[in-house]
Amino acid sequence: MKLSATILALAIYVSLATAQSQEWGQCGGIGWAGSTTCVSGTVCTVINAYYSQCLPARPSSECTGPTSTASIPPAPTGSNSNALARAAGKLYFGTATDNSELSDAAYVAILSDDSYFGQLTPANSMKWDATEPEQGVFTFSGGDQIVSQAKAHSQIMRGHNCVWYNQLPSWVSNGGFTSAQLTSIIQNHCSTLVSHYKGEIITHAFETEPFNDDGTWRSDVFYNTLGTSYVDIALQAARAADPGAKIYINDYNIEMTGAKATSMLNLIKDLKSRGIPVDGVGLQCHFIVGEVPTSLQSIMQQFTALGVEVAITELDIRMTLPASTALLAQQETDYKNVISACKAVSGCVGVTVWDYTDKYSWVPSTFSGQGEACPWDANLQKKPAYSGITAAWA
């Protein structure tokens, strides 16, 4: 009796260990008694000490950064912001936008002018709470609307975002997952999101805001469950889902020399040394008038020296209200300095403002008493800041 139970256990063990694991299935890790080989077309990849997984095999060239398969539209002519950015050799001058804003005809008229904007980022509608509100239930209608808007006006799309501590549905943020469960949840989310937009998006900011301002890792459901390996998991899933899209890590307060920038530089070095795919760093650039960091250009150069490109992904420059002629003039200088820094760094591919108009800026609702952070005012009129942008590109 005892012997036959042992034989049965052995037989189960042998059959588990000999059947190949399926794509995305587990193939190793401490305590794992199942198969350590993967079905054809996949490679058993160590995610962490407790979990190895069959990931789609990729040509090694994908680890050094793809050329995007999303096409770059023809450059517009003239002296508006995107036309000048293209003439300066950049891919775009762009803006964030949001779905609720697309019913504002006057706003959309300017948004749709590719001589002003050659690129759009969805401010909210590709985030986790919008795209997978319930586990396994995906909704892409909001993101699709922004993609259609961009395509109709020859504008490039940047995706935003795959893994972020904020705007998570409660089924994710409440946690309670094993590391294997959360690994598979991240993979399924990033993979489904990126696959849905395959070929449509030049760049995804897949991993957003991993660090606290002191450079330590942010405590969130991802880090608390998986440690730093969640970054690898998200980046690898994103690359596998659309090898033609560039993958960025995006953060704020990395635009100046300091602990946070150092942590991001170290993260990029570490990812590169381990062959984890990462193509770019997004410097958000949510600045304050008169306080644009003087080290912006040199920080961008430090990132590009590591073999990644950079982009300014969420630029706005806020002031304490009310605005004055002096503050608006300083803001013009500040915008000019930020654009000039990108222009001067060959690996800086473009600049995105975090919505072009004060009418739809996130700033006043977040920073009490502050606002007027964008280059167009709340009446959709250009401010001196816009002249700073064009002067810098020209």
The SS3 assignment for 26 reads: strand
Report d(CA 63, CA 160) in Å as an integer.
21
- Contact residues for 362 (Cβ-Cβ < 8 A; gap 6+): 123, 354, 355
Residue 150 sits in the site that holds ligand 9MR (CB under 6 A) = no
Nearest to ligand 9MR of 123, 202 (CB atom): 123
> Checking phi first, is residue 195 left (phi over 0); if not, alpha (psi -120 to 50) or beta?
alpha
Residue 314 sits in the site that holds ligand 9MR (CB under 6 A) = yes
Instruction: Identify whether 209 is a catalytic site residue.
Output: yes
Instruction: Identify whether 101 is a catalytic site residue.
Output: no
User: In the chain, which residue ranges form alpha helices assigned H by DSSP?
Assistant: 2-18, 81-87, 105-111, 128-131, 141-152, 170-173, 179-196, 221-226, 229-241, 259-273, 296-304, 325-344, 363-366, 384-393
Instruction: Tell me the number of residues near ligand 9MR by CB under 6 A.
Output: 8
C-beta of 133: minimal distance to ligand 9MR in Å? Answer: 15
What is the 3-state secondary structure of 266-287?
HHHHHHHHCCCCCCEEEECCEE
State which of positions 183-222 bind ligand 9MR (CB under 6 A).
Answer: 208
C-beta of 129: minimal distance to ligand 9MR in Å? Answer: 10
Nearest to ligand 9MR of 64, 167 (CB atom): 167
CA angle (293 as vertex; 92, 289 as ends), nearest 5: 85
Nearest to ligand 9MR of 123, 345 (CB atom): 123
CA angle (157 as vertex; 156, 158 as ends), nearest 5: 130
End-to-end CA distance of the chain: 86
Q: Which of 18, 100, 135, 167 is in the footprint of ligand 9MR by CB under 6 A? A: 167
C-beta of 4: minimal distance to ligand 9MR in Å? Answer: 60
C-beta of 166: minimal distance to ligand 9MR in Å? Answer: 5
C-beta of 277: minimal distance to ligand 9MR in Å? Answer: 22
C-beta of 137: minimal distance to ligand 9MR in Å? Answer: 21
Report d(CA 302, CA 305) in Å as an integer.
5
Residue 166 sits in the site that holds ligand 9MR (CB under 6 A) = yes
Q: Which of 107, 197, 362, 393 is in the footprint of ligand 9MR by CB under 6 A? A: 362
State which of positions 91-130 bind ligand 9MR (CB under 6 A).
Answer: 123-124
Is residue 113 packed enough to be buried (19+ CB in 10 Å), middle (13-18) or exposed (0-12)? middle
Kindly state the tokens that stand for 208. 């957003």
Nearest to ligand 9MR of 179, 208 (CB atom): 208
Q: List beta partners, residue 376.
A: 357, 382
Catalytic residue among 200, 314, 332, 372: 314
Answer for the pair 202, 191: CB distance below 8 angstroms, yes or no: no
Catalytic residue among 209, 309, 332, 372: 209
Nearest to ligand 9MR of 51, 128 (CB atom): 128
Nearest to ligand 9MR of 84, 247 (CB atom): 247
Nearest to ligand 9MR of 84, 231 (CB atom): 231
C-beta of 362: minimal distance to ligand 9MR in Å? Answer: 4
- Contact residues for 351 (Cβ-Cβ < 8 A; gap 6+): 85, 90, 92, 93, 94, 311, 312, 315, 338, 339, 342
Q: Which residues of this chain interact with ligand 9MR, rule CB under 6 A?
A: 123-124, 166-167, 208, 284, 314, 362
Enumerate the active-site residues.
Answer: 209, 314
